[in-house]
Chain A
Amino acid sequence: MSRQSLAPQLEFLLQEIEGIRIHRKGPRRVRVDLAAETLPALLELLKGRAGYVHLSAITCVDWMEQEEFELVYHLWSYETRVLVMAHIRLPRDPGVYLSVYDLFKPAAFFERDIHEMFGLYFEGSPDMGKFILTEWEGPPPMRKDFDGEAWVMNHFNWQAYHPDWLKEIEAQGGGITTRPEDVRR
């Protein structure tokens, strides 16, 4: 089977999923939007019948205003050589979804990362423990409502650092001119 003929076949295959919207974004990129319940079926279909064995990444996008999380599963087939990006939307609250670890082992890392950074829990994932933010007790930092600068202002003190050399410069009108009250009002 030639490589050119595989792409239409892929679209044909994707039609088997109920309520799927297919959008060709380029010669090697296909975007599909589907309901969260049908994603496992899609992954199984792609892996079993189109050689999509490589889960390149899972990305989480926080759409705070719509109160939704978007999960994007980037899948690559070494046979069709077309990247499928499967988009699903989940309610931001309670923020729970199913793990796809049983289909794709790399999902463990991405799901753990998303849980840590966005607070989205994956049921059935082998490890939802902390990995990068071991010492962190604040809210999941990649959420859009987390303001890193405000956190720093509220949790850390500005040090009174005035060595003699700096005092000399300040006497001449130089030195550190930005004060916390100037930065954030």
Chain B
Amino acid sequence: MRPENYEAVNHPPSNEFELFFGPNHPGIEGNYALKVKLNGDQVVSARADGGYLHRGFEKLMEGRLWIQNIALVPRICVPDPVPMEVCYSLAVEELGGITVPERAQWIRVLQLELSRIAAHLFTFGGHAATTGMYSNMYWGVADRDQILDLFEELSGGRVYHIYNIPGGVRRDIPTGYLERVTRTLDYIESRLPDYDNLFFTNQVFVQRARGIGAMSQEQALEWGVTGPNLRATGLAFDVRRDDPYLVYDQLEFDIPIEQAGDAWARTLVRRQELVQSIRIVRQVVERLPHVGGPIRALIPNPLAWNLPAGEVYTRVESSKGELAYYVVSTGGDKPYRVHVRGPSAMHAVQVLENLTAHARLEDIAQIMFSLDACPPEVDR
């Protein structure tokens, strides 16, 4: 809301006051706001206020060719763009009846998991900063940069790769790339003890995060929570295993869970997921040289490509939770309707409002970062 449009509400005399938390606040992820009603430093209620990042992607996609939309979709979630590309590509492929070559599927998994590692490192950094631990923030961002270097080598882009296209991936991995992936993973793994000491077992953090923003499994299911936030309440659900796509059914990985459902448990789940992602990438590195064949299926001329009429709902496990695309085709060269279901549509609105109510003012940032909410997914 623009300030000139704000009308103060005349309350009867009380100790309560209204505070605008965001959209420009270090304790808020992205451009997002909370209107918080406070009594002292106790939150009485909070209302999410979105729209600052609305760019009308769903409408824009209806006016662009199937292939052009690939350049749009990664922008919907900046810290974790790869699942967006893959999920949209999977939808187009299913509509067009295209089978993705096996090698491309392995490369996609490699890219997806690297993106998850990068996103989690970024979240650790941001989350640490909400408790005043800025060293960890710099570490998280710097170590994420190592992954971005790998993306740059693979696709030319650091943040938005536009590397997955319907039918496969744009180009094959460069020579010696897998060795560099291994070296980066070794480096990140060697950093984990440092992260443990400085962040995950640091009492400054643990005391601040334990018991904060706690939800039970029943509440999580009722509010539509997915991803690491759901797994932190003890339910081992992961789209990669339970609604498998690409070659995830050929990979070995665990689904880490925690029971407490609070900010600390959510962070610990992500910490363990990072290890699992490294494990998956190592399997891909081992397997990829033995998977030959093309890196993309032949598709018709993408500038005059009419997909058969139909509808499809594809789901991908992003670093934030269940990401889904509902795509409708009427047989034209453009989508008739694309609906993006970002996991943060739940986490950043209803769940955040519910968890911040009766919390303390200084814990709002802690709750938001522990939910790993991504506002552009809400606004789209």
A61-B337, A133-B54 known; A53 and B346 CB under 8 Å?
no
Q: Are B2 and A135 in contact (CB under 8 A)?
A: yes
Q: Any chain A CB within 8 A of the CB of B257? A: no
Inside 8 A of A97's CB, which chain B residues have their CB? none
Q: Any chain A CB within 8 A of the CB of B237? A: yes
Q: Are B328 and A105 in contact (CB under 8 A)?
A: no
A-B pairs, 6 with minimum CB distance? A106-B224, A132-B51, A57-B341, A59-B339, A59-B326, A61-B337
A141-B59, A142-B59 known; A105 and B326 CB under 8 Å?
no
Q: Any chain A CB within 8 A of the CB of B50? A: yes
Q: Which of the residues B5, B49, B221, B336 comes within 8 Å of A54, measured between beta carbons?
A: B221
Q: Are A83 and B350 in contact (CB under 8 A)?
A: no
Give a binary string over A30-63; 1 marks a CB under 8 Å from any B CB, 0 the rest: 0100000000000000000000011111010110
Inside 8 A of A54's CB, which chain B residues have their CB? 221, 224, 226
Select from chain A the residue with minimum beta-carbon distance to B58: A142
- State in angstroms the CA–CA spacing of A54 and B63 once bound together: 31
CB distance from B346 to the nearest CB of A (A): 6
| Most chain A CB inside 10 Å of its own CB: which residue of B226, B235, B243, B339 | B339
Q: Are B224 and A29 in contact (CB under 8 A)?
A: no
Interface of B is mostly: mixed
Q: Any chain B CB within 8 A of the CB of A88? A: no
In A47-105, which residues have CB < 8 Å from any B CB? 53-57, 59, 61-62, 72, 74, 78, 81, 83, 85, 104-105
Q: Are B326 and A57 in contact (CB under 8 A)?
A: yes
- State in angstroms the CA–CA spacing of A56 and B243 once bound together: 13
Inside 8 A of A110's CB, which chain B residues have their CB? 345
CB distance from A112 to the nearest CB of B (A): 9
Q: Any chain B CB within 8 A of the CB of A134? A: yes
Q: Any chain A CB within 8 A of the CB of B324? A: yes
Q: List 16 other contacts, CB 8 Å, given A83-B315, A105-B222, A132-B54.
A: A29-B313, A31-B311, A57-B324, A57-B326, A61-B336, A72-B326, A74-B326, A78-B242, A83-B243, A105-B223, A105-B350, A109-B345, A113-B345, A134-B51, A135-B1, A141-B59
Size of interface on B: residues with Cβ below 8 Å to A: 38
Q: Are B56 and A85 in contact (CB under 8 A)?
A: no
Q: Any chain B CB within 8 A of the CB of A139? A: no
In B328-380, which residues have CB < 8 Å from any A CB? 328, 336-337, 339, 341, 345-346, 349-350, 378-379
Q: Any chain B CB within 8 A of the CB of A22? A: no
CB distance from B248 to the nearest CB of A (A): 14
Q: Any chain B CB within 8 A of the CB of A148? A: yes
Inside 8 A of A57's CB, which chain B residues have their CB? 324, 326, 339, 341
Q: Which of the residues B51, B243, B336, B341 comes within 8 Å of A81, measured between beta carbons?
A: B243
Inside 8 A of B378's CB, which chain A residues have their CB? 132
In A129-158, which residues have CB < 8 Å from any B CB? 131-135, 141-142, 148
Q: Are B50 and A132 in contact (CB under 8 A)?
A: yes
Inside 8 A of B48's CB, which chain A residues have their CB? 131
Q: Are A106 and B223 in contact (CB under 8 A)?
A: yes
Q: Any chain A CB within 8 A of the CB of B113? A: no
Q: Are B350 and A81 in contact (CB under 8 A)?
A: no
Q: Are A109 and B349 in contact (CB under 8 A)?
A: yes
Q: Any chain B CB within 8 A of the CB of A162? A: no
Give a binary string over A100-128; 1 marks a CB under 8 Å from any B CB, 0 the rest: 00001110111001000100000000000
Q: Any chain A CB within 8 A of the CB of B143? A: no
Inside 8 A of A24's CB, which chain B residues have their CB? none
Q: Any chain B CB within 8 A of the CB of A28? A: yes
Q: Any chain A CB within 8 A of the CB of B322? A: yes
Q: Which of the residues B58, B322, B328, B350 comes within 8 Å of A108, measured between beta carbons?
A: B350
- State in angstroms the CA–CA spacing of A67 and B48 once bound together: 34
In B213-252, which residues have CB < 8 Å from any A CB? 221-224, 226, 235, 237, 242-243
Give a binary string over A144-185; 1 marks a CB under 8 Å from any B CB, 0 the rest: 000010000000000000000000000000000000000000
Inside 8 A of A28's CB, which chain B residues have their CB? 243
Q: Are A56 and B341 in contact (CB under 8 A)?
A: yes
Inside 8 A of B54's CB, which chain A residues have their CB? 132-133
Give a binary string over B1-32; 1 marks a CB under 8 Å from any A CB, 0 the rest: 11001000000000000000000000000000
CB distance from A148 to the nearest CB of B (A): 6
Select from chain A the residue with minimum beta-carbon distance to B223: A105
Q: Are B341 and A131 in contact (CB under 8 A)?
A: no
Inside 8 A of A29's CB, which chain B residues have their CB? 313
- State in angstroms the CA–CA spacing of A108 and B337 once bound together: 21
- State in angstroms the CA–CA spacing of A62 and B223 once bound together: 27
Listed by A's residue number, 11 A-B pairs whose Cβ atoms lie within 8 Å are A54-B224, A55-B224, A61-B328, A72-B326, A85-B311, A105-B222, A105-B223, A113-B345, A134-B5, A135-B2, A141-B59
